[in-house]
Amino acid sequence: MELVNEAITQAASAWWVLPLLFLFCLIDAFFPIVPSESFLVSLAAVGIHSGSPNLFLVGALGAAGALLGDQITYAIGRSIGSHGFKWMRGKRAQRVLHYAEKKLETSGALLIFTARYIPIGRVAVNLTAGATGFSHKRFTLFDTIGVLTWAAYSVSIGALAGNWMHDNKLLGIGLSIVIAVVLGFIIDRIVSWALNRYHLRVEKAAQRAAQEARETVPPSTDES
C-alpha cells in the first residue's frame, strides 16, 4: 500500500496535472461527460496531506477553467441558439432549456448559481442565457460566484475524504468521488422535482385559462 500511495503522490505532483485540470474544467462546461469534478476532488484528496498539488491552486485553476468554459458556452448559445446541437432537441433537454429560459427572467442569479452543480443543467442554463440575450455582465458576475463556490465545495469534499483516509490515498480518492456523485445526484433529483412541479403548474394554469376563455365567450345566436 505504501508503494501505491507513493505512486499516487508522485502522479499528482507532475507538472502537467494542474494544466490538465484546467483543461478538463474548461471542456466540461460544454461537453459534460468530462469528469472534471472527479478529477478536482481526487487531487484535493491527495494534496491535503502531501501538500502537492497545492489545494489553493487546485481550486483556483478549477474555477478559472470552469469560468472560461462557461463563457464559451454562453458565446455558443448567443451564436447558434438553443437548438443548434442534436442533443438539445430531445424531450428532456428541451424541458430543461425551456425551464431555464423562463427562470432566467425571474431568478437569473439563483439559476446560474445552482446550475453549476448539475452537468446538463449547467450547459442548458449557460446556452440559454446566451441564446436569449441575458445580460453578459450579469451572467459573468453570477457565474463567477458560482464557480468559486463550486471549486471550494469540491476541494472541501476531496480534502475531507483525503483526511479520513490519509493512510490509503486510493481509498480516499474513491471516497471523495462517491461523495461528490451522491451529492450531485441529490441536487439533480431536487431540480428534477422542481421542474416537474413547474410544468404541472404551467399545465394547470393553461387549463384554467382555456376554461375561463370558454366561459366568457357568449353563445352564438342564429339570426332568422
219 assigned to some structural domain: no
Q: Could you tell me which residue, 83 or 47, shows the higher pLDDT?
A: 47
Domain count, the chain: 1
Report d(CA 129, CA 138) in Å as an integer.
Answer: 10
Q: Could you tell me which residue, 95 or 170, shows the higher pLDDT?
A: 95
Q: Is the pLDDT of residue 2 over 50?
A: no
Q: Is the pLDDT of residue 56 over 50?
A: yes
33-42, 101-110, 176-185: which range is least confident on average?
A: 176-185
Q: Could you tell me which residue, 62 or 177, shows the higher pLDDT?
A: 62
Confidence (pLDDT) at 118: 77
Report d(CA 40, CA 134) in Å as an integer.
Answer: 30
Q: Could you tell me which residue, 12 or 141, shows the higher pLDDT?
A: 141
Give the model's confidence band at 112: pLDDT under 50 very low, under 70 low, under 90 confident, else very high: confident
Looking at residue 224, the DSSP 8-state letter turns out to be -
Give the model's confidence band at 75: pLDDT under 50 very low, under 70 low, under 90 confident, else very high: very high
Mean pLDDT of the chain: 75
Q: Could you tell me which residue, 111 or 7, shows the higher pLDDT?
A: 111
Q: Could you tell me which residue, 140 or 180, shows the higher pLDDT?
A: 140
126 assigned to some structural domain: yes
Give the model's confidence band at 4: pLDDT under 50 very low, under 70 low, under 90 confident, else very high: very low
Q: Could you tell me which residue, 185 or 197, shows the higher pLDDT?
A: 197
172 assigned to some structural domain: yes
Confidence (pLDDT) at 3: 37
Identify which of 5-9, 66-70, 81-85, 152-156 has the greatest average pLDDT: 66-70
pLDDT of 164-196, one tens digit each? 655 544 554 555 456 555 665 666 666 667 656
Q: Could you tell me which residue, 199 or 104, shows the higher pLDDT?
A: 104
Domain that holds residue 6: 2-201
Which residue pairs from 16-25 have beta carbons closer than 8 angstroms and sit at least 24 positions apart in sequence?
A: 17/43, 17/53, 18/53, 18/57, 18/58, 18/61, 19/61, 21/58, 21/61, 21/62, 21/65, 22/61, 22/62, 22/64, 22/65, 23/65, 24/65, 25/61, 25/62, 25/63, 25/64, 25/65, 25/66, 25/69
Q: Is the pLDDT of residue 224 over 50?
A: no
